[in-house]
Amino acid sequence: MVSKVIGYKNNERVSICQIKFSSGEKVLVSFAALPVPSIKIMRLLFGIFPHTTIWEYRVPAGTEEGCDMLIALLADQKSPAVNHPLDAAIRKLLPCMSCAEALEVLQLAEASAGAAHRRS
C-alpha cells in the first residue's frame, strides 16, 4: 500500500488535507496564512481527531514572501513547480511511509533551508 491523500480542501477560507501513510497512520496537514504563514502536521487519533503535532514551521515575522518561502522549504526541485504551500507539503509527504519518516524528511528540509539561509 502506498501513502495517499484521503481528504483535501483548499480555498480562501481553509487549506487542509489528510494523508494516510502506508503504515496506516493518518495525519492532518494545515496551512495558515495569518498572522504569519505557517504549516502544521498533526497525527490523527483514531484517524479522525488531531492529537499530536508532528512538525510545525512558522515563517519568521517580518519575512516578505512567506508563502514562497514555505514552498521553497517543502518543494522537491525534481518535480514540477507548485503554487501553494499545502500542495508542496503533500508532495513532500506522499513518498513517506510513516509519521516517523515524515518527521525526518521535514526536519532535513528545515535544516537544509536554514543552512542555505545562513550562507546567503
Q: Kind and range of the H or E element at 19?
A: strand 15-20
pLDDT value at residue 119: 41
The β-bridge relationship of strands 4-10 and 26-32 is: unpaired
- Taking 70 as the threshold, does the pLDDT of residue 78 lie above it? no
0.95 surpassed by pTM: no
For the chain, the domain total comes to 1
Confidence grade of residue 105 (pLDDT, cut at 50, 70, 90): very high
Domain that holds residue 93: 4-119
**Cell numbers linked to 106:** 521535514
Residues forming beta bridges with residue 10, ordered by sequence position: 15
Q: What is the mean pLDDT of the chain?
A: 84
Q: How many CB atoms lie within 10 A of CB 20?
A: 18
Alpha-carbon Rg for the chain, nearest whole angstrom, is 14
Q: Which range, 25-39, 62-76, 105-119, has the best average confidence (pLDDT)?
A: 25-39
Which residue would you say has higher pLDDT here, 66 or 120? 66
